[in-house]
Amino acid sequence: MDFDTIAAISTPLGEGAIAIVRLSGDQALTITNKIFSGRDLSKVNSHTIHYGKIIDSETNEMIEEVMVNVMKAPKTFTREDVVEINCHGGLASVNRLLELVLQLGARLAEPGEFTKRAFLNGRIDLSQAEAVMDLIRAKTDRAMDVAIQQLDGRLSKLIQRLRQDLIETVAHVEVNIDYPEYDDVEEMTQTVLLEKTTAVYHEIEKLLSMAKQGKILREGISTAIIGKPNVGKSSLMNALVQENKAIVTDIPGTTRDIIEEYVNIRGVPLRLVDTAGIRETEDIIEKIGVERSRQVLKEADLILLVLNNNEPLSEQDYQLLELVNDLELIVLINKTDLPTKLDQTKVKQLVKNHPVISTSLIEEEGIDDLEEAIANIFFSGQLEADDLSYVSNVRHIQLLKQALTALDDARGAINAGMPMDLIQIDVTRTWQILGEIIGDTVQDSLIDQLFAQFCLGK
């Protein structure tokens, strides 16, 4: 497949020690040679690095002192000639360098176009390409491990095996239908067909059973910290993040807007949202913050409701408990270092089976218990240590659900005694749906949409 030569800055913009301009395509070496004062890059060995200077061919002015990586097709990420020019990390120098290669015939790469070429040239499949972005966005070591496993093809190999089982089943059915006179071909009975489709069904079920954990590892647990003003919400945020992200004072209503921060809890990313205290108020700015807090509740995966041990339950506390009792909830009774005025027995009765944890955030007590409670809710105490075949991508999850439905239809048709050629339609549909995960049966428009979500230069 022939493409033009693309170029982009592949490192974050801003000041840094090094910046990289990457080129990919059959003119990558030719374009770089025109501005590189050093060895003839067309004659060097592949996967070598070379010192030299970048010279503006029109003005003969030295632009940069660089190291150039040369990687020749097909043993590259894109399976094309790839050049990476390492220059100093200033904004002006790297932009000037990019400008030069674009003037000489390269085209500015679209977001994700390097990875898209790797996919289109058969270097990786679609699920592996999506794992590249998961790896970039990973916020914990565990999420990174899952992305690496997917990038290495663990999910792809499983999907390919399931598709192979299905296509062999379809082929067997077709032979039985088209050539019934062949005695040496095993008869595909409805019992055998049910066994084969059920085996694939259970494999997909197993993948989907891990989907919740995988999605959490990929996106994090959206966690809202709520409570009436001045109960310790911001102190809880600071204790979990382990730095002073939120302003803590004795004045109610200090937090006027939502504050977001990611925190690693036992390998799981929590997207913490410290909300403005939910209360009736005449302060216009605080009122806006309260409304935003109510919206956060609707979108949260987990609610941390903070109560004050030093005060009896108020009407506002009762309203909050009623508001969140049907959600995934952990109640924290804070300020246990102060005299107890809160009826903890009453709280436990009101929240039913939700965890209730005592904390003294000023003395940093109770955080370990909170972390354990979160792990118990979402991962039964711990993540699966050995099986990292988590399905974390929303697109993959939806396709697996569709495949499960198609197989359900096939198994229902088998049990109803439907003709083999009709059952075969649902089995073939399952095969096609699974192919969309790895990109074998996916539309070009979807491919363009997926890679448009990548960062420029990747």
Q: Would you give per-residue pLDDT tens digits along the chain (458 residues)? A: 568 999 999 998 878 889 999 999 999 999 999 999 989 999 999 999 999 999 987 888 998 999 999 999 999 999 999 999 999 988 888 999 999 999 999 999 998 899 999 999 989 888 888 888 777 777 766 677 777 877 888 888 999 999 999 888 888 777 666 555 555 445 567 888 888 899 999 999 988 877 777 777 777 788 888 888 888 887 888 888 775 443 333 334 433 344 677 787 776 778 887 665 444 444 444 444 445 556 667 778 888 999 999 999 988 888 888 888 888 889 999 999 999 999 888 888 888 889 999 998 888 888 889 888 887 877 664 445 445 556 767 788 899 999 999 999 999 988 888 888 888 889 899 999 999 988 887 667 767 777 777 676 77
Q: 402: which residues sit within 8 A by CB, 6+ positions away?
A: 433
**CB-based contact 451:112 (threshold 8 Å):** yes
Distance between CA atoms of residues 129 and 395, nearest Å: 13
The answer to whether 132-210+391-439 and 219-379 have equal CATH topology is no
**CB-based contact 370:330 (threshold 8 Å):** yes
Q: 134: which residues sit within 8 A by CB, 6+ positions away?
A: 143, 146, 147, 150, 218, 392, 393
Predicted pLDDT of residue 282: 46
* Class level of CATH domain 219-379: alpha beta
The domain limits of the chain are 6-123, 132-210+391-439, 219-379
Q: Other C-beta atoms within 10 Å of 438: how many?
A: 23
Q: Other C-beta atoms within 10 Å of 315: how many?
A: 8
How far CA 180 is from CA of 173, 183, 185, in Å, comes to 10, 8, 9
Task: Report the topology of domain 6-123.
Answer: Gyrase A; domain 2 (3.30.1360)
Distance between CA atoms of residues 318 and 208, nearest Å: 37
Q: Other C-beta atoms within 10 Å of 9: how many?
A: 20
CATH of domain 132-210+391-439: 1.20.120.430
Predicted pLDDT of residue 19: 92
